[in-house]
Amino acid sequence: MKISEIINKSRVRAELKLRDDIEITGLHYDSRKIKPGNIFFAIKGLKDDGNKFVTDAINNGAVLIFTEDDINMQSAVPAVKSNEIRKLMAEYSGIFYGDPSSKLKLIGITGTNGKTTTSYLIRSFLNDAGYSTGLLGTIDYQVGNQKTESKLTTPDSVEVNMMLSEMVNSGTQFCIMEVSSIALVMERVYGLKFDTAVYTNLTSEHLDFHKDMENYFAAKKILFDNLQESGKAISNSDDSYGHSILEDCMAKKFFYSSREESDLRSFNEKLSLSGLEFDVKWNGRTYTLKSDLSGRFNIYNILASVSTVLQYDIDMPMIQSSLLKFQEVRGRFNRVKLPNGAIAVIDYSHTSDSLKNAIESAREIVDEEKRFGKVITIFGCGGNKDRTKRPVMGELAAGLSDQAIITSDNPRFEEPMDIIEEIISGIKDKKNFEVIENREDAIKKGLEISREGDIVLICGKGHETYQEVKGIRTHFDDKEIVGKYSHTAK
């Protein structure tokens, strides 16, 4: 594709003064991936500055450089300065890959918690209805018959458009994408044509990046503000931001709820360790939805996903049948039965609200079982991330659990005990917790002290199979550790 064609189609302008038209063979922001004929976008990222690698990009064959800085290069390769470099990269990559988001139905899901399970539910419903689907999210990217482990919840614009293009070429009809607040602010999804956007909830998270909840909310709102009138906006009306996030949205609005009248509301809810069941009304009829998923928060995930697929004329009996077959998502409230009759639950809950939801769900299930069980919570907080949530999570764990064990998560470049001390600082007047820094030892202790009817809730890492310390990742899987020491639960 000629650079002139890309420039003419782009809504984002850049001052290019080129003597000759250039044939573009690809584009990237990682100099290591540059090949002859590529455009290189020298972007300042959260961890590194692409301007340091301009020479490497040229040596690898870059024929055009875009940068936010004034750079002096003794090179025949033209360099263009842009104050909107991320938008420019998103526009150019969309054009280069043939505007793929307009050639399938793109469903974006945003919110603090519930994005992953909701995305998998939507995909399962669509697949069972006979549609071909792709998925981009926290756990993996599923493109055609290929599945790869994800590095970011929402990839950068070059990868997004490339994968969407591959989906289109393979005949994919729908793509379900988790859309993070950071991705929205950093223009990773700029220019994508979302057919439907889904909002789950908003609680304190990523405040190290957004600084306050107002900015965090504004970031999420971008997804809905950019929907076209022909689009669909699905929102949780029980959430405090559920209505305001759609205030400026032009798309058709649809609300779901568990507490108030809405377009789709749950009632007659029943929860147990073996699953959940609730009723909904749709088109004047009452339907019972049953699922092997457990936990009250999963009622909201199911409502969000059902609300979404109803927009595509998938009928409720088909949804009922599909939901019955749906298996829990890896690392999301995964239950493991222990030899002593207790249950270990492995969950990704790593925010204050998701931890609260997980513990309260465990408590509700234990109480429903009527076996005088306890909730034993094992958790830590990640390093080099939002520190404001640490004391809050400490107080929640101690306040809502019968016993809490505070341990290490992914300390990254922080000292594990420094993180633990910040967690403990939020615990007021409670003695039902202990500190075991080593995560394997903490899980082992939780299993050892469990009894029949208890839930050992292991939070924070979920699907992750590593622990990151001082920049080095070593293999660590909570589920494997439970298997290793399950015999100690006597």
* pLDDT tens, residue by residue, 157-212: 999 999 999 999 999 999 999 999 999 999 999 999 999 999 999 986 666 676 78
Q: At what angle do helices 389-400 and 352-369 cross, to 10 degrees?
A: 10
Name beta bridge partners: 143: 146
Tell me which of 160 and 144 has the higher pLDDT.
160
Residue 92 lies in a domain: no
Residue 94 lies in a domain: no
| 214 alpha carbon, distance to own chain's centre | 20
> Strand, helix or coil at 111?
coil
Average pLDDT over residues 101-116: 96
Q: Are residue 80 and residue 116 in the same domain, yes or no?
A: no
d(CA 84, CA 309): 36
Q: Are residue 280 and residue 366 in the same domain, yes or no?
A: no
Residue-level pLDDT at 222: 97
| 263 alpha carbon, distance to own chain's centre | 25
Residue 359 lies in a domain: yes
pLDDT at 20 over 90: no
d(CA 92, CA 25): 12
> pLDDT digits over 215-230, tens only?
999 999 999 999 999 9
CATH assignment of the domain containing 203:
3.40.1190.10
**Nearest residue to 3 (alpha-carbon basis) of 31, 27, 25, 24:** 24
Long-range contacts from 247-254, C-beta under 8 angstroms, 24+ separation: 248/221, 248/224, 249/224, 249/225, 251/197, 251/224, 251/227, 252/311, 254/307, 254/310, 254/311
Q: Are residue 184 and residue 219 in the same domain, yes or no?
A: yes
DSSP annotation string for 446-469 = HHHT--TT-EEEEES-TT--EEEE
- Using the 3D structure, point to which of 325, 359, 394 is the last residue of a domain: 325
Residue-level pLDDT at 136: 96
> pLDDT digits over 442-464, tens only?
999 999 999 999 999 999 999 99
CA distances from 229 to 67, 110, 191, 309 (A): 35, 19, 16, 18
Residue-level pLDDT at 15: 76
Q: Are residue 124 and residue 55 in the same domain, yes or no?
A: no
178 CB-near residues (< 8 Å, 6+ apart): 108, 109, 110, 115, 116, 119, 136, 137, 138, 153, 154
| 381 alpha carbon, distance to own chain's centre | 17
d(CA 308, CA 177): 13
Residue 350 DSSP code: -
Number of structural domains the chain divides into: 3
Q: Are residue 134 and residue 243 in the same domain, yes or no?
A: yes
How long a stretch of residues is the chain? 490
Residue 11 lies in a domain: yes
> Strand, helix or coil at 88?
helix
Residue 459 lies in a domain: yes
Q: Are residue 109 and residue 164 in the same domain, yes or no?
A: yes
Residue 95 lies in a domain: no
Average pLDDT over residues 21-36: 95
Whether the Cβ atoms of residue 108 and residue 179 lie closer than 8 Å to each other: yes
> Strand, helix or coil at 173?
coil
Tell me which of 398 and 273 has the higher pLDDT.
398
Residue-level pLDDT at 248: 95
Q: Determine phi and psi for 452, rounding to 5 degrees.
A: -50, 135
Query: Confidence band (pLDDT; 50, 70, 90) for 76?
Result: confident
Range of the domain at 141: 100-325
Q: Are residue 383 and residue 235 in the same domain, yes or no?
A: no
Q: Are residue 270 and residue 385 in the same domain, yes or no?
A: no
DSSP annotation string for 49-83 = BGGGGHHHHHHTT--EEEESS-----SSS-EEE-T
CATH assignment of the domain containing 73:
3.40.1390.10
CATH assignment of the domain containing 348:
3.90.190.20
DSSP annotation string for 209-245 = HHSSHHHHHHHHHHHHHT--TTSEEEEETTSTTTTGG
Residue-level pLDDT at 471: 87
- Using the 3D structure, point to which of 32, 55, 85 is the last residue of a domain: 85
Q: Are residue 112 and residue 243 in the same domain, yes or no?
A: yes
Residue-level pLDDT at 432: 95
Q: Are residue 434 and residue 350 in the same domain, yes or no?
A: yes
Whether the Cβ atoms of residue 12 and residue 18 lie closer than 8 Å to each other: no
- Using the 3D structure, point to which of 52, 85, 118 is the last residue of a domain: 85
Query: Confidence band (pLDDT; 50, 70, 90) for 70?
Result: confident
Q: Determine phi and psi for 277, rounding to 5 degrees.
A: -150, 140
> Strand, helix or coil at 103?
helix
**Which alpha helices (DSSP H) does 252-401 contain, by range?**
297-310, 316-325, 352-369, 389-400
431 CB-near residues (< 8 Å, 6+ apart): none
Average pLDDT over residues 366-389: 91
Q: Determine phi and psi for 55, rounding to 5 degrees.
A: -60, -40
Q: Is 81 exposed, middle or buried (0-12, 13-18, 19+ CB in 10 A)?
A: middle
Residue 93 lies in a domain: no
Q: Are residue 13 and residue 67 in the same domain, yes or no?
A: yes
Average pLDDT over residues 301-313: 97
Query: Confidence band (pLDDT; 50, 70, 90) for 150?
Result: confident
Q: Are residue 68 and residue 197 in the same domain, yes or no?
A: no
**Nearest residue to 332 (alpha-carbon basis) of 291, 382, 297:** 297
Residue 320 lies in a domain: yes
362 CB-near residues (< 8 Å, 6+ apart): 295, 345, 375, 377, 455, 457
